[in-house]
Structure 1
Amino acid sequence: MNSATETAVGEVFEEMPQEKRARTDAGDEDPPWSSWAGLQPDALGVVLSFLPCLADRARVRSVCRQWRAAARGRGVAPPLPLLVLPRFRFAGLTPGGVLAPARRAWMPPELDADNAYCVGSSDAWLMGAAGPAGGECFLVHAFSHEVRRLPPFGTSDCSLRKAVLSASPESGPNSIVAAFIIRRSKPELALWRSGMKSWRVCRHALLAGHVDIAFYQGKLYMLWRFMPCLFSFELGEDERGVTVSHMKDFMIEKLLPSTLGLYHELSCNMVEWSGRLLLIIRYYGGYQPRSRVKVKVFAVDLSTYPVGLAEIRSFGSDCIFLGSGGGKTFPAGQHGGVEGNLIYFGPDHYNSHEAFVYSMRDGMTGPIVQPLPCGTRASERKIGFPVWLFPSE
């Protein structure tokens, strides 16, 4: 990466490139034109509260050492999500609800960024792989660049499709990684936690080729993408580490309303919102992206038998982001002028042509950006699809 590109990336995602930051922290004097260095930290916190984009906050922190020190830990709302594209390119969401142009971020050279792809995230951590199928697996912090190696899958015919984490890797051994893989053309669930020397692989007849997976209240849930079948996995421990101790089928497909009129195809996702597990179903009609799409959202009550389903018609000021690597709720209402009650559907392995935003208020859809700055070209489709990232500051 040339110095001009590195500087641009540093301004947006790291305050400044690492070498320059090291020189500054080592005692270089701030330039004489930094007359704003004496701005009170409380005033700077107010400024940051009006900047929901991570790129804008990074530019504020890059002004001088005083601003960088004062900006940290100001208690402002988290910045808007980022979309991590193949080869570690980052596109930030703007207050207008569209994605800014993507820029490539600096990553440790040992990750082979040109061939790396991401399959999940937890806070500012990304789960990814690089090299041939079944090669290097890793967790990397998108901003501190700390790397934690995971065991390889060990075969050349393995495709890592999706991964979720039960908690941030910083929580220690309590963080479990659940990865959905395709090996020898068959779907498998692989589990790993710190201290295990290899993945624990679960093979079961109910594992389908197209699934969404998520941790919720201490259990791992799996949802078939094109048929609303929901399963839970209770996780336990044995001498080899974490394992599946029990699996349950909730048979929710029998409780849902039938497809609506001309809507003859569907796609399912799940996400946690306000302490509840939500089932999000897209009903399609027609053959064009977003053509005649209708979205239904149900809260799943897992405490009853059969399970209860309650339709959700509004998220209030919250937004939901879905895509490859799972979904997450974002408190958009904490930022003035940022619209809430929206669902952002990102492209994934199963709907690579499609990315749009859906309004829960009126059922209208719109593009996230035209054209979507993501790796959907044939040359990049082999190295994954975008993953949403939710930095905390």
Structure 2
Amino acid sequence: MAATLDRWKCLPTVLLRSVIRRVPCEADRASVALVCRNWRAALATPPGEAPLLLPPQLPWLLRPLPGGPAFSCLFCSDGVSSTIHRFRLPDDARTARYFGSYDGRWAFAASRLADDAPMLLNLRTGERYSVPREFLPGIFRSSEPGASGAMTMLVATLSSAPDADGDPCVGAAIVRSAPFDGRSGHLQITFWRMGHQPVFGQGGVLQAVEKGLRVVQKHWCRCRAYDQQPHVRYLVESRGELLMVVKASPASNEQRSPMWTFMVFRMTQIQTSNPYHMIYTWNMVPSLNGRILFVGLGCSRAYEVADFPGFKEGIYFLDDRDTRMNHTEPYPCSDNGKWSRVPPFVNHCFPPHQGESNYSSPVWVLP
């Protein structure tokens, strides 16, 4: 038995690296590196060499389970179902409220152990950044002149990874201010530079987001009516275009796992005689045309079916039935799945069934 284990430990590095390139799931590759020291050394990138070319990844679904978050991976069953992986997380992240994510396994979280203090945490490496908790004077109309105050971040995202060399990283969030006069707090879009605590409002948007974060401002975009009742809308960039994904249900008051339907629109500019008067409209996209869309508040992304053998086009969605943005528990977590244009239209492909969570909503963890 010992001799057999020794033979496994001494597998040639070139053979190990050839095998690992064929393991699609990032979590499974991490388990391979934990087998023994020799395997871990073989899978590390030697100095001066190019990193190992690995298969492209898809988002994980962060599941806020009672014992702490787990991650559902679609790679283990070609997108038809998923497998749960558990990872060791810091104590302050195990019962945190998650409210956004960014590429590279970055996630925004508010820790219960630190009075709901927000942070940006890398779930792969453990690296973290602090996130502002107060806004500058005058950001909210409800604030008194010259006074700053507390706020709660509800949805957040980034313009780029915080460790990108030479690329300014700007955070953007929908926040709720603390009530100043006994009324409910005011919702506002705010921005900040990573590594700097002050939060500023929309006045300095264009100067702060010259790279990465695109904001359409002061241009009219025509709205449209729907046959179904729209529940929530998502914006996602795909193939150099801006798409709007509308999640709708047949009945306006149906909240118990309705039969969702999705509509996809492309933002198109309308030519006018005045070059300074830009008008946009949303044109329906008749088919996904080989796209895989992951939609969620603060974590929507588009991928190509051609890059993921065995997968089929569709829209993966999160349980966001509660869109009031009041971050109050319990959080619905059971209605996560995939929508397709062909039957079955909705596949709840994230077993096992989960009810409500007392600390967070589900969120996509982006690769």
Alignment of 1:15-30 (within 5 A): none
Q: Residue 306 of structure 1 is aligned with which of 269, 276, 279?
A: 279
CA gap 1:46/1:102 in 2 versus in 1, 3 angstroms: closer
Alignment of 1:165-244 (within 5 A): 165-171=158-164, 174-183=168-177, 184=179, 185-202=185-202, 218-221=212-215, 232=216
Alignment of 1:1-393 (within 5 A): 33-72=5-44, 73-86=51-64, 87-93=68-74, 94-97=76-79, 98-101=81-84, 103=86, 105-109=87-91, 112-122=92-102, 123-131=104-112, 135-153=116-134, 158-171=151-164, 174-183=168-177, 184=179, 185-202=185-202, 218-221=212-215, 232=216, 247-253=217-223, 256=224, 258-260=225-227, 263-286=228-251, 287=254, 291-302=258-269, 304=271, 305-337=278-310, 339-348=311-320, 349-350=322-323, 352=332, 354-361=335-342, 364-373=345-354, 376-377=356-357, 380=358, 383-391=359-367
* Offset at residue 220 of structure 1 (A): 3.9
SS in 2 for 1:281: strand
Q: What residue identity is the alignment partner of 2:246?
A: I
TM-score (structure 1 length as normaliser)? 0.68
Figure out how many residues of one structure are paired with residues of the other and give that number: 313
* Offset at residue 141 of structure 1 (A): 1.3
Instruction: Tell me, yes or no, if the aligned pair for 2:243 and 2:265 is still in contact at 8 Å.
Output: yes
SS in 1 for 2:30: helix
SS in 2 for 1:198: coil
SS in 1 for 2:5: coil
**Which 4+ stretches in 1 moved above 6 angstroms?**
154-157
TM-score (structure 2 length as normaliser)? 0.73
CA RMSD of aligned residues (A): 3.3
Instruction: Tell me, yes or no, if the aligned pair for 2:98 and 2:362 is still in contact at 8 Å.
Output: yes
Instruction: Please give the alpha-carbon distance, in whole angstroms, between the structure 2 residues aligned to 1:140 and 1:219.
Output: 20
Instruction: Please give the alpha-carbon distance, in whole angstroms, between the structure 1 residues aligned to 2:188 and 2:115.
Output: 13
Instruction: Tell me, yes or no, if the aligned pair for 2:61 and 2:71 is still in contact at 8 Å.
Output: yes
SS in 2 for 1:59: helix
* Offset at residue 40 of structure 1 (A): 4.5
Where in structure 2 are there 5+ consecutive unaligned residues?
45-50, 136-147, 180-184, 204-208, 272-277, 325-331
* Offset at residue 358 of structure 1 (A): 0.7
CA gap 1:32/1:149 in 2 versus in 1, 3 angstroms: farther
